[in-house]
């Protein structure tokens, strides 16, 4: 891998993979979507790695295209049926339980809230960039983010006895 | 919920690290980027050269199969010469040279190996899905790497001794993927 791409992927690979996982829900699909996205961007951009917001936008579009390929998806699902369940986070033993709880709570959020939360917290995008990526206004992105954060916090708070 | 609580919760979430991409994906991307980088400095090839390369990529596996069949046919058609009968050998002996005794002649014929191919097999060892690739024409395809071991068994009909020759072989197959 070229040095600039390697360094770029070392820095951003995990967060891109997280978004791909959220968009596809399966590890094999997430890998395919990320690879296809980077292939297209690599083909188009001859001057090194692209800007991160552009990658998120392309990743989201590729995931939508990917989801439309029903037949291929069905075959792939059969192939990866034995794969381990997808895990959002990579944590040590001590934090694994907490990460698992966060992941479960995150999965229970409505999908539009999930993607905004992921793009903001782990994608480190601004609300304007999130708006461009998802196709909503920055204001909507901000309010959606706040709802998501509150809902997540509420789910993770211990219920009163 | 106060802003302070939300900020603290944000920080807690940020502390969670997303799982890294798998080594498999990294390898696929490295191949992809290296291929693209390899394409970059090359001068523009004539259109017919590109077309040939594309055809070769598309139909490379058929060429490999054809080459394998040709090899098998060549092995099948190749025959070692049958040993001459003892009488003929003696009759054709150079004049003035003493022919060996019949026992020695038989021993000499038996000692000479006459191996012929008696069995050939292709064993598929691995099928590796290398993911999606973009061809020169902008088409998407899924690339599979097949790893075979080709084995030919040779036998000496004189004494039934056998040996095997095994050769590893790889085939790349591109399956077009329709995107929309």
Identify the pLDDT of residue A140: 94
Contacts 24+ apart (CB under 8 A), A103-107: A105/A152, A105/A155, A105/A156, A106/A152
* Cβ within 8 Å, pair A31-B179: no
pLDDT mean over A86-114: 79
Q: Where are the alpha helices (DSSP H) in chain B?
A: 3-14, 23-39, 47-77, 86-91, 102-111
pLDDT mean over A14-30: 87
Write out the two tokens for B25.
């994906």
pLDDT mean over B128-144: 83
Residue B24 above 60 pLDDT?
A: yes
pLDDT mean over A71-86: 59
> Is the torsion defined by CA of A80, A82, A84, A88 positive or negative?
positive
Residue A42: list chain B partners with CB under 8 A: 32-33, 36
Identify the pLDDT of residue A83: 56
Distance of CA B109 to the CA centre of its chain: 38
Q: Pick from B30, B31, B49, B57: which is nearest to B175 by CA?
A: B57
* Cβ within 8 Å, pair B1-A150: yes
d(Cα A139, Cα B44) in Å, to the nearest integer? 47
Identify the pLDDT of residue B22: 85
Q: Does B137 touch chain A (CB under 8 A)?
A: no
Higher-scoring residue by pLDDT: B104, B172 = B172
* Cβ within 8 Å, pair B21-A14: yes
* Cβ within 8 Å, pair A18-B19: yes
Identify the pLDDT of residue B64: 79
* Cβ within 8 Å, pair A38-B180: no
Residue B5: list chain A partners with CB under 8 A: 153
B78-90 pLDDT, tens per residue? 755 555 454 444 4
Distance of CA B175 to the CA centre of its chain: 18
Provide the CB-side half-sphere exposure for A28 (13 A, CA): 17
Of A17, A35, A46, the CB nearest to B32: A35
Identify the pLDDT of residue A148: 93
* A24 to A61, A63, B167: CA distances (angstroms): 12, 7, 41
Task: Say how many CB pairs under 8 Å bridge A and B.
Answer: 106
d(Cα B140, Cα B19) in Å, to the nearest integer? 28
Please provide the average confidence, as pLDDT, over all residues in chain B: 72
Q: Pick from A21, A23, A22, A63: which is nearest to A40 by CA?
A: A63
Q: Does A67 touch chain B (CB under 8 A)?
A: no
* Cβ within 8 Å, pair A39-B133: yes
Residue B146 above 60 pLDDT?
A: yes
Q: Which residues contact B26 (CB under 8 A, 6 or more apart)?
A: A9, A13
- Complex ipTM value: 0.70
Q: Does A87 touch chain B (CB under 8 A)?
A: yes
* Cβ within 8 Å, pair A34-B16: no
Higher-scoring residue by pLDDT: A31, A26 = A31
* Cβ within 8 Å, pair B20-A18: no
Q: Which residues contact A71 (CB under 8 A, 6 or more apart)?
A: none
Residue A87 above 70 pLDDT?
A: no
pLDDT mean over B83-109: 45
Q: Does A92 touch chain B (CB under 8 A)?
A: no
**Confidence band (pLDDT; 50, 70, 90) for B99?**
very low
Identify whether the C-beta of residue A22 lies closer than 8 Å to the C-beta of residue A63: no
Map tokens 């229970």 to a residue.
A108
Q: Does B127 touch chain A (CB under 8 A)?
A: no
Write out the two tokens for B95.
């004049």
Q: Pick from A59, A60, A61, A41: which is nearest to B32 by CA?
A: A41
Q: Pick from A109, A28, A70, A57: which is nearest to B132 by CA?
A: A28
B26-62 pLDDT, tens per residue? 888 888 777 766 655 444 444 444 445 555 655 666 7
Residue A119 above 90 pLDDT?
A: yes
Q: Which residues contact A113 (CB under 8 A, 6 or more apart)?
A: A144, A145, A147, A148, A151
d(Cα A116, Cα A136) in Å, to the nearest integer? 10
Q: Give the end-to-end CA distance of chain B in Å, rounded to a whole number.
A: 45
Identify the pLDDT of residue A143: 94
**Confidence band (pLDDT; 50, 70, 90) for A129?**
very high
Higher-scoring residue by pLDDT: A32, B99 = A32
Residue B70 above 90 pLDDT?
A: no
């Amino acid at each position: 891998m070229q040095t600039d791409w390697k360094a770029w992927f070392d820095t951003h690979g995990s967060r891109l993979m997280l978004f791909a996982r959220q968009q596809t829900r399966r590890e094999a699909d997430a890998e395919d979507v990320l690879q296809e996205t980077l292939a297209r961007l690599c083909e188009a951009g001859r001057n090194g790695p692209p800007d991160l917001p552009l990658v998120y936008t392309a990743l989201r579009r590729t995931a939508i295209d990917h989801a439309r390929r029903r037949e291929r998806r069905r075959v792939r699902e059969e192939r990866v049926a034995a794969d381990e369940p997808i895990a959002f986070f990579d944590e040590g033993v001590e934090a694994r339980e907490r990460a698992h709880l966060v992941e479960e709570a995150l999965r229970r959020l409505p999908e539009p809230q999930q993607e905004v939360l992921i793009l903001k917290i782990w994608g480190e995008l601004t609300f304007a960039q999130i708006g461009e990526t998802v196709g909503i206004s920055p204001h909507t992105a901000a309010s959606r983010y706040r709802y998501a954060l509150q809902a997540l916090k509420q789910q993770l708070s211990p219920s009163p006895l | 919920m106060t802003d302070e609580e939300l900020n603290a919760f944000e920080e807690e979430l940020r502390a969670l690290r997303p799982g890294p991409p798998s080594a498999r994906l990294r390898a696929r991307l490295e191949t992809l980027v290296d291929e693209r980088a390899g394409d970059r400095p090359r001068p523009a090839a004539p259109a017919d050269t590109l077309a040939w390369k594309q055809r070769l990529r598309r139909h490379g596996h058929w060429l490999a199969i054809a080459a394998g069949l040709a090899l098998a046919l060549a092995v099948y058609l190749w025959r070692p010469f049958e040993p001459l009968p003892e009488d003929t050998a003696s009759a054709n002996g150079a004049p003035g040279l003493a022919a060996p005794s019949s026992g020695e002649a038989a021993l000499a014929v038996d000692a000479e190996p006459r191996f012929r191919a008696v069995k050939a097999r292709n064993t598929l060892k691995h099928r590796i899905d290398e993911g999606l690739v973009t061809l020169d024409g902008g088409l998407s395809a899924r690339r599979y790497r097949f790893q075979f071991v080709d084995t030919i068994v040779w036998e000496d009909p004189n004494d039934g001794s056998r040996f095997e020759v095994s050769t590893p072989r790889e085939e790349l197959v591109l399956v077009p993927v329709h995107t929309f």
